[in-house]
């Protein structure tokens, strides 16, 4: 089959690639899952409060998730993640053209992103890492373009990308390290640092970030302390400074292995290799290097998903370096084969999960049925809507997302993580406490309230334990039923009426 007529029309290829992501990776999880993944649930839960920050992250990903969930339900959240990937891919294509890659090389740099686990199988789990993607890709584009064209619009756009990236996740500022490395490689760093543009970009990003900074200051810098805790272990031993960087490198090597193998095979076939000094290698590698150096210096354990935006530029480096444009059919067959593997693996893991797996995945929780039982429990005792639920991030997020009342969540009964709530407000408005006692209702070992939330009964003496909720797990052939503990904190006005 002659592919040249299609590959010579990049708009057609990019449209097909975009439609694949929009259709397959929106509809597949919608068909397989009965509940949003944890990260999606958390994002929607936070977004429903419309704050300038939350206990783990800045606000932008939460706002975006809430807006798309309000518009399209669960499908909207899955769609949002794919829109992030597509917009980043288009940025990489534009960046490739800016770096003097051919049209075919730039197209392959985008298509080969689908060989990477981050951008297929796990991409349905929208979170802060995925919302970063367009800001990294387009930030690099406008940064390189600004150094070439000296137009203030490019520097303003770079500042917007950095500022919005930081409002998504602080680690997004690492996109500047590859950009500075690329400027250095291209011989543009000195001129860039002495021009007004980079400082204009800095001012724009600071202005965008300022409201969140003020929120952090008034909330004890809670998002910063979470980030430190997330990467740190309870104790740091000397060998952590060696092992954690190596562990991170190995995990990323494994994720990139299909693409690296393809490059190795094509590189041997083509023999001749080229490595243009356009900064593509630096855009690809230096963000990884910065994480490795930070881990080596501090001993923290980098989370694998921190690296989601880091391979975006890998095709811009490896396609011309391995002359993959000479092996187009092999590249396209590899992308097609891995796409089949990723989609099949997802369908089997989560679509058939309730049948083949003893322990239910989170995405196979009975979200709607659980919320209906919780709502009924509250409405039998109150005429007013449910305002507060006390639960962990997942169960609380399920109630927040699927309930028409959209109650606020006191996360794990911890006021430090739920700054808009207080014990006084809970006593005034009333609340339900929800927790998973056991995944199998017949299991004699249940998790009592005193173990899950030890201080809750002392904080709320009016708390009343209610009969457990028994909710069947969806789509199972073994009729397994989950057991959920539920307790009731009556509103003060009801207590007064009973007195």
pLDDT of 484 reads 96
| pLDDT on residue 118 | 96
Torsion angles phi and psi, residue 89, rounded to 5: -60, -40
Given this model, what pLDDT does residue 492 score?
84
Q: At what angle do helices 60-72 and 38-47 cross, to 10 degrees?
A: 90
Q: What pLDDT, in 10s, does the model give residues 221-267?
A: 888 876 666 555 555 577 888 999 999 999 999 999 999 999 998 87
Instruction: Check residue 401 and give its pLDDT.
Output: 96
pLDDT computed for residue 274 by the predictor = 58
User: How far apart, in whole angstroms, are the C-alpha atoms of residue 274 and residue 320?
Assistant: 6
Render pLDDT for 474-491 as a digit per residue (tens, 0 to 9): 998 888 999 999 999 999
pLDDT at 272: 58
pLDDT at 132 over 60: yes
Report pLDDT for 158. Answer: 97
User: pLDDT digit string (tens) for 445-461?
Assistant: 888 999 999 999 999 99
**Of 269, 267, 271, which is closest to residue 317 (Cα–Cα)?**
267
% of the chain beyond a pLDDT of 70: 93
- Mean pLDDT for 103-113 is 96
CA distance 230 to 113: 28
Range list of H helices, 271-366: 280-298, 314-321, 328-346, 353-356
Are 349 and 363 in contact, with CB atoms under 8 Å apart?
A: no
What is the structure's pLDDT at 357? 87
pLDDT band at 8 (very low <50, low <70, confident <90, very high): confident
Q: Decide which of 269 and 297 is more confident.
A: 297
- Residue for token pair 């049209």: 103
> What are the tens digits of pLDDT across the range 12-30?
999 999 999 999 999 999 9
39-97 pLDDT, tens digit per residue, is 999 999 999 999 999 988 999 999 999 999 999 999 999 999 999 999 999 999 999 99
Inter-residue contact 438 to 482 (CB < 8 Å): yes
- SS3 at position 152: helix
User: Which whole number is the average pLDDT over 319-340?
Assistant: 94
**Cα angle value 92/64/419 (rounded, 5°):** 130
β-sheet bridge partners, residue 470: 483
> pLDDT per residue over 379-416, tens digit each?
999 989 999 999 999 999 999 999 999 999 999 999 98
pLDDT of residue 236: 59
Question: Please, are residues 311 and 113 in contact by the beta-carbon 8 Å criterion?
Answer: yes
- Tens-place pLDDT, residues 164-220: 999 999 999 999 999 999 999 999 999 999 999 999 999 999 999 999 999 999 988
The pLDDT confidence band at residue 5, using thresholds 50, 70 and 90, is: low
Q: Higher confidence at residue 232 or residue 289?
A: 289
The DSSP-derived string for 180-225 is: HHHHHHTT-HHHHHTSSHHHHHHHHHHHHHHHHHHHHHHTTTHHHH
Structure tokens at 379: 């409405």
pLDDT score of 442? 86
Quick one: residue 279, left, alpha or beta (phi over 0 = left, psi -120 to 50 = alpha)?
left
């Amino acid at each position: 089959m002659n592919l040249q007529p299609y590959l010579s029309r990049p708009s057609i290829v990019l449209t097909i690639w975009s439609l694949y992501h929009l259709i397959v990776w929106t509809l597949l999880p919608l068909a397989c899952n009965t509940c949003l993944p944890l990260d999606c649930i958390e994002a929607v839960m936070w977004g429903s409060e419309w704050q300038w920050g939350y206990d783990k992250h800045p606000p932008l990903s939460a706002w975006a998730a809430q807006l798309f969930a309000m518009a399209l339900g669960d499908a909207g959240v899955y769609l949002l993640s794919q829109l992030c990937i597509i917009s980043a891919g288009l940025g990489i294509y534009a960046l490739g053209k800016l770096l003097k890659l051919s049209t075919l090389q730039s197209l392959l740099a985008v298509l080969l992103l689908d060989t990477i686990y981050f951008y297929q199988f796990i991409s349905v789990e929208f979170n802060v890492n995925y919302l970063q993607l367009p800001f990294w890709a387009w930030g690099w584009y406008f940064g390189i373009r600004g150094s070439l064209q000296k137009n203030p619009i490019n520097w303003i756009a770079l500042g917007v990308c950095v500022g919005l990236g930081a409002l998504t996740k602080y680690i997004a500022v690492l996109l500047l390290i590859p950009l500075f490395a690329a400027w250095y490689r291209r011989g543009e760093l000195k001129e860039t640092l002495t021009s007004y543009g980079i400082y204009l970009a800095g001012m724009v990003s600071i202005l965008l970030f300022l409201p969140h900074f003020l929120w952090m200051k008034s909330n004890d810098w809670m998002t910063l302390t979470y980030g430190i805790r997330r990467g740190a272990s309870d104790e740091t031993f000397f060998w952590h400074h060696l092992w954690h960087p190596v562990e991170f490198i190995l995990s990323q090597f494994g994720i990139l292995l299909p693409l690296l193998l393809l490059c190795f095979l094509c590189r041997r076939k083509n023999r001749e290799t080229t490595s243009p000094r356009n900064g593509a290698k630096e855009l690809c590698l230096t963000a990884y290097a910065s994480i490795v150096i930070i881990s080596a210096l501090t001993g923290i354990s980098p989370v694998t998903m921190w690296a989601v935006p880091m391979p975006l530029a890998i095709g811009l480096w490896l396609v011309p370096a391995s002359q993959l444009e000479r092996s187009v059919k092999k590249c396209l067959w590899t992308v097609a084969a891995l796409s089949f593997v990723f989609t099949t693996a997802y369908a089997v893991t989560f679509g058939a999960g309730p049948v083949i797996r003893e322990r239910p995945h989170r995405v196979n929780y009975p979200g709607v049925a659980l919320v209906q039982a919780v709502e009924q429990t509250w409405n039998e005792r109150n005429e007013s809507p449910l305002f507060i639920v006390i639960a962990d991030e997942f169960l609380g997020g399920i109630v927040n997302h699927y309930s028409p009342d959209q109650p606020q969540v006191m996360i794990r009964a911890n006021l430090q993580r739920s700054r808009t709530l207080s014990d006084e407000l809970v006593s005034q408005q009333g609340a339900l406490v929800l927790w998973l006692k056991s995944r199998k209702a017949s299991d004699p070992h249940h998790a009592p309230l005193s173990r899950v939330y030890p201080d809750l009964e002392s904080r709320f003496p009016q708390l009343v334990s209610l009969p457990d909720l028994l909710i069947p797990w969806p789509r199972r052939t073994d009729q397994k039923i989950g057991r959920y503990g539920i307790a009731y904190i009556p509103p003060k006005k009801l207590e007064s009426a009973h007195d």
